[in-house]
Structure 1
Amino acid sequence: MAVAPALGADNTASPTGTVMQNSIPIPVSSPASSVDDVLRPGYRHLMQLINYYANDDPSRTYAAIPVDSDDLSRGFRDVSYAQFANAIDHCAHWLSRILSDPVESFEPVAYFGPKDLRYPIMLMALAKLERKMLLIGFTLHRTAQAHLVSTTKCKVVLYAEGFREVVSEIAPLVDGQVHVIEAPSQEAWLTDQKSERYTWDKSWEEAKDLPFMVLHTSGTTGMPKPIIYTHQMMVSFDSTRIMPDAKHESLLDHMKGRRWFSPTPNSHVVEMYVAFQWTAVGGGVAVFGHPTESTSSLIIDALRYGKCQAMIAPPIFYERLVKEPLGLQTLQGLDFIYFGGASMSPQTANRLVSHTRVQAAFGTTESGMFFVRPRGNEDWQWFEFRESNGIEFEHQDGNLFELKVLKKPELKRWQQIFQISQFAGVDVWRSGDLWERHPTRHDAWRLIGRMDDLIGLADAKKLNASTLEMELSQCPGVAGVVVGGSGQVRPFALVEWTDEDVDNEAKLDELWPVVQNWNEKASQHARLQKDSILFTDPGKGLVRNVKSVPVRKPSEQLYAEEIKHLYTA
Structure 2
Amino acid sequence: MTSSSEYPLGYGQRLVPHIIDDRARENPSQLFATFPKSSRIEDGFHEVTYGQFANAINASYIGPSELRYAILTVGAIKTGHKAFFPSPRNSIEAHLSLLESACCDVLLTAKKCHPVVEEIVYRRSMRRIVVPELEEWISAPLALSYPFETTFAKARYEPFVALHTSGSTGLPKLVVIPHGTLASIDAWQLLPSEGASPTIIQSFQGIRLFMPFPPFHAAGLYIMLPLAVFCNITIVLPPAEPLTAELADSIHVHGNVEGTILPTSVLSDIVKDTELYNNLQNLKFVAFGGAPLSKEVGDAVKAKSWPVNWLGATELCFTALEKMHADDWEYMKFHDCMGIDFRYHGEDLYEMFIIRDDALNLYQGIFCTFPHLREYSMKDLYSKHATKEGLWRYRGRSDDVIVFSNGEKMNPLTIEARISSHEMVSSALVLGNDRFQSAVLVELAKPTYDQEYQRQLLDSIWTTVEQANETTEAHGRISKSLIMFTSPDKPMLRAGKGTVQRKLTLDAYGKEIEALYIASNVDATPLADQHTLDTENIDSLSSSLTTLIFRSTGILLDPEDEIFEKRH
TM range (shorter): 0.7 to 0.9
Secondary structure, aligned partner of 1:442: coil
Measured in 1, the distance between the counterparts of 2:195 and 2:233 equals 19
Structure 1, unaligned stretches of length 5 or more? 1-35, 96-110
1:168 to 118, 125, 137: 118
Corresponding residue of 1:52: 22
2:218 to 264, 269, 272: 269
Are the aligned partners of 1:454 and 1:465 in contact in 2 as well (CA < 8 Å)? yes
Measured in 2, the distance between the counterparts of 1:382 and 1:522 equals 20
Residue-by-residue CA offset, 1:77-105 (whole Å, 9 max, x unaligned): 322212221222122xx67xxxxxxxxxx
Measured in 2, the distance between the counterparts of 1:216 and 1:159 equals 18
The equivalences for 1:26-41 within 5 A come to: 39-41=9-11
Once the two structures are overlaid, the 10-residue window that deviates more, 206-215 or 544-553, is 544-553
Deviation, structure 1 residue 243: 4.2
- Work out whether 1:236 is the aligned partner of 2:205: no
Residue-by-residue CA offset, 1:154-190 (whole Å, 9 max, x unaligned): 121111121174422211222xx31101112212221
Deviation, structure 1 residue 44: 1.4
Residues 521/279 of structure 1: CA separation in 2 closer, same or farther (3 Å cut)? closer
> 1:491 is aligned with what amino acid?
S
- Work out whether 1:466 is the aligned partner of 2:413: yes
Residues 522/153 of structure 1: CA separation in 2 closer, same or farther (3 Å cut)? closer
Residues 188/523 of structure 1: CA separation in 2 closer, same or farther (3 Å cut)? closer
- Work out whether 1:79 is the aligned partner of 2:28: no
Are the aligned partners of 1:341 and 1:547 in contact in 2 as well (CA < 8 Å)? yes
Deviation, structure 1 residue 278: 3.0
Deviation, structure 1 residue 39: 4.7
Deviation, structure 1 residue 399: 1.4
2:426 to 471, 476, 479: 479
Secondary structure, aligned partner of 2:429: strand
Measured in 2, the distance between the counterparts of 1:60 and 1:348 equals 36
Are the aligned partners of 1:69 and 1:289 in contact in 2 as well (CA < 8 Å)? no
Corresponding residue of 2:282: 333
Deviation, structure 1 residue 411: 2.2
Measured in 1, the distance between the counterparts of 2:492 and 2:318 equals 27
Once the two structures are overlaid, the 10-residue window that deviates more, 517-526 or 427-436, is 517-526
The equivalences for 1:531-546 within 5 A come to: 531-546=481-496
2:464 to 514, 519, 523: 514
Corresponding residue of 2:548: none
> 2:139 is aligned with what amino acid?
T
Measured in 1, the distance between the counterparts of 2:117 and 2:304 equals 45
1:348 to 266, 280, 297: 297
Deviation, structure 1 residue 410: 2.5
Measured in 1, the distance between the counterparts of 2:179 and 2:400 equals 35
Measured in 2, the distance between the counterparts of 1:548 and 1:247 equals 35
TM-score by length of 2: 0.85
Measured in 2, the distance between the counterparts of 1:82 and 1:528 equals 57
1:114 to 56, 59, 65: 65
Residues 81/439 of structure 1: CA separation in 2 closer, same or farther (3 Å cut)? same
Secondary structure, aligned partner of 1:413: coil
The equivalences for 1:16-31 within 5 A come to: none
Residues 212/351 of structure 1: CA separation in 2 closer, same or farther (3 Å cut)? same
Corresponding residue of 1:495: 442
Are the aligned partners of 1:114 and 1:292 in contact in 2 as well (CA < 8 Å)? no
Corresponding residue of 1:448: 395
Are the aligned partners of 1:455 and 1:485 in contact in 2 as well (CA < 8 Å)? yes
Secondary structure, aligned partner of 1:329: helix
Are the aligned partners of 1:459 and 1:489 in contact in 2 as well (CA < 8 Å)? yes
Are the aligned partners of 1:383 and 1:446 in contact in 2 as well (CA < 8 Å)? yes
Corresponding residue of 1:428: 375
Are the aligned partners of 1:260 and 1:274 in contact in 2 as well (CA < 8 Å)? no
- Work out whether 1:64 is the aligned partner of 2:48: no
Secondary structure, aligned partner of 2:361: helix
The equivalences for 1:217-232 within 5 A come to: 217-232=165-180
Measured in 1, the distance between the counterparts of 2:98 and 2:471 equals 46
Measured in 2, the distance between the counterparts of 1:256 and 1:196 equals 31
Deviation, structure 1 residue 287: 0.9
Residues 331/235 of structure 1: CA separation in 2 closer, same or farther (3 Å cut)? farther
Are the aligned partners of 1:278 and 1:286 in contact in 2 as well (CA < 8 Å)? no
Once the two structures are overlaid, the 10-residue window that deviates more, 433-442 or 321-330, is 321-330
> 1:424 is aligned with what amino acid?
P
2:151 to 203, 221, 227: 203
Secondary structure, aligned partner of 1:272: helix
Residues 201/246 of structure 1: CA separation in 2 closer, same or farther (3 Å cut)? farther
Once the two structures are overlaid, the 10-residue window that deviates more, 68-77 or 336-345, is 68-77
- Work out whether 1:286 is the aligned partner of 2:286: no
1:151 to 101, 108, 112: 101
Residues 172/150 of structure 1: CA separation in 2 closer, same or farther (3 Å cut)? farther
- Work out whether 1:89 is the aligned partner of 2:58: yes
> Identity of counterpart residues, as a percentage?
28
Measured in 2, the distance between the counterparts of 1:57 and 1:131 equals 28
Once the two structures are overlaid, the 10-residue window that deviates more, 378-387 or 329-338, is 329-338
Residue-by-residue CA offset, 1:369-388 (whole Å, 9 max, x unaligned): 11110101011111111112
TM-score by length of 1: 0.85
Measured in 1, the distance between the counterparts of 2:446 and 2:274 equals 19
Measured in 2, the distance between the counterparts of 1:145 and 1:63 equals 30
- Work out whether 1:366 is the aligned partner of 2:291: no
Are the aligned partners of 2:181 and 2:364 in contact in 1 as well (CA < 8 Å)? no
Once the two structures are overlaid, the 10-residue window that deviates more, 484-493 or 351-360, is 484-493
Are the aligned partners of 1:300 and 1:326 in contact in 2 as well (CA < 8 Å)? no
> 2:376 is aligned with what amino acid?
W
Residues 75/508 of structure 1: CA separation in 2 closer, same or farther (3 Å cut)? same
1:187 to 130, 135, 139: 135
Structure 2, unaligned stretches of length 5 or more? 1-5, 520-568
Corresponding residue of 2:537: none
1:128 to 64, 75, 78: 78
Are the aligned partners of 1:481 and 1:550 in contact in 2 as well (CA < 8 Å)? no
Corresponding residue of 2:350: 401
Measured in 2, the distance between the counterparts of 1:186 and 1:429 equals 39
- Work out whether 1:568 is the aligned partner of 2:518: yes
Residue-by-residue CA offset, 1:318-368 (whole Å, 9 max, x unaligned): 112222233213333211111112111111112211221111111211122
RMSD over aligned Cα, in angstroms?
A: 2.2
Measured in 1, the distance between the counterparts of 2:195 and 2:131 equals 42
Measured in 2, the distance between the counterparts of 1:459 and 1:367 equals 37
> 1:47 is aligned with what amino acid?
P
Corresponding residue of 1:309: 258
Measured in 2, the distance between the counterparts of 1:295 and 1:519 equals 29
Measured in 1, the distance between the counterparts of 2:196 and 2:473 equals 45
1:137 to 87, 90, 114: 87
Secondary structure, aligned partner of 1:134: coil
